Amino acid sequence: MPANHSVSPRAPSPRFSLLKGEALAFAGMLGAALTVFAELSPALTVAPSLAYVIEHWRAVTEGVWRPLLDLIGLAIDPGLAAAIAIAWFMVMIAAGGRFAAQVAGQQCQTCAIATFGMARASRGGASSPSAPSALPF
């Protein structure tokens, strides 16, 4: 009888896990850059091939957000679809950076709105974090 060798599954390489976080952040940066460029393209002279890519990108971003917002009864302007898309890409950048930092074993600093209020209070500004105050600039 042959020996029965069992193979234990290997954990994914930390490098591969780091790459996933970096890829998510890179996709967010690429999407945000394309969206901003698509919104600025009417004021710019672009090559026909780039204009083709920009029009399709604009159609894709609007095509993603329009049905989702139509479900709740909101009609959107194409400019609003671009703003929502950029916000989503910023979330992707933040999530990718946090994921990559966690895989690398680094601690991410958290920031809360109350933190800003406490900093203002310690500088002699508002007496409590919830108290309204003027901007420092």
The string of pLDDT tens digits covering residues 66-121 is: 888 888 888 888 788 889 999 999 999 988 888 888 777 777 666 555 555 555 55
Residue 88 carries which side chain, given as an amino acid letter?
A: W
Buried b (16+ CB within 10 A) or exposed e, 83-102: ebbbebbeebbeebbbbbee
CA torsion, points 16, 22, 25, 30, in degrees to nearest 10?
A: -100
pLDDT for position 135: 46
Q: Compute CA distances 17 → 21, 51, 104, 107, whole Å.
A: 7, 36, 9, 16
